């Protein structure tokens, strides 16, 4: 039998946290993720099932919806990403697949993405150096897609101007982390 050890997207056995004046960056590996795409002609059914299944309505374009245990954010037309604490929802994709039945296509995404939480008074200034996203204009519980160092990322605003999450492909976690830290250091 193999004795495997889980590692974070940055390759550690524990999540990495970096502190800078007015800014903190923390790796967030303990999230289960699954994408949900409504099948042709099934959008209304998916919207009807979602509240009882994930504890919140599916969000509109550019928005995030938070339930007591799960969070959904808009990814594209009739597509959403569902997030939940990994320890409580390790089998998230299967639970969603069973709940949505044939109305949606559900894909396991947990190990496909890396998430970094960025918070502090200098967060907006950091994003202004990193990407074309207007982070200053983002409102609470909104999401936008942008490029950071040539990486397609989702950027979620939890608290306007101060608390954000950045999700990128897991294979690029080191590059994104380096870009975030370099921009944070440049703020002085």
Q: Where are the domains of the chain?
A: 17-29+112-186, 31-110
Q: What rounded mean pLDDT belongs to the chain?
A: 96
Q: What is the pLDDT of residue 166?
A: 98
> From the CA atom positions of the chain, what is the Rg in Å?
17
Q: What is the pLDDT of residue 2?
A: 82
pLDDT tops 90 at residue 161: no
Q: pTM of this prediction?
A: 0.94
pLDDT tops 90 at residue 156: yes
For 54-57, which contacts have Cβ atoms below 8 Å and span 24 or more sequence positions?
Answer: 54/82, 54/96
In the CATH hierarchy, which fold is given to the domain comprising 17-29+112-186? Gyrase A; domain 2 (3.30.1360)
The count of other CB atoms within 10 Å of the CB of residue 70 is 23
Given phi > 0 = left and psi -120 to 50 = alpha, else beta, which region is 29? alpha
Q: Which CATH class is domain 31-110?
A: alpha beta
pLDDT tens-place string over residues 94-123: 999 999 999 999 999 999 999 999 999 999
Sign of CA dihedral 175, 156, 75, 89: positive
Q: What is the pLDDT of residue 82?
A: 98
């Amino acid at each position: 039998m193999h004795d495997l050890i889980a590692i974070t997207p940055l390759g550690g056995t524990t999540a990495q946290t970096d502190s800078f004046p007015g800014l903190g960056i923390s790796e967030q590996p303990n999230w289960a993720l699954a994408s949900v795409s409504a099948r042709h002609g099934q959008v209304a059914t998916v919207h009807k099932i979602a509240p009882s299944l994930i504890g919140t309505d599916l969000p509109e374009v550019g928005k995030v919806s938070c339930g007591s245990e799960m969070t959904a954010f808009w990814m594209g037309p009739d597509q959403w990403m569902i997030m939940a604490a990994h320890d409580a929802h390790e089998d998230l994709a299967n639970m969603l697949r069973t709940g949505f039945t044939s109305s949606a296509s559900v894909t396991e995404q947990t190990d496909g993405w890396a998430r970094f939480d960025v918070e502090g008074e200098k967060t907006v200034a950091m994003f202004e150096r990193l990407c074309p996203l207007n982070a200053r204009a983002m409102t609470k519980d909104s999401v936008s897609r942008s490029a950071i160092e040539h990486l397609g990322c989702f950027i979620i605003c939890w608290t306007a101007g101060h608390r954000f999450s950045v999700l990128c492909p897991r294979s690029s976690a080191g590059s994104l982390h380096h870009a975030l830290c370099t921009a944070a250091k440049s703020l002085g």
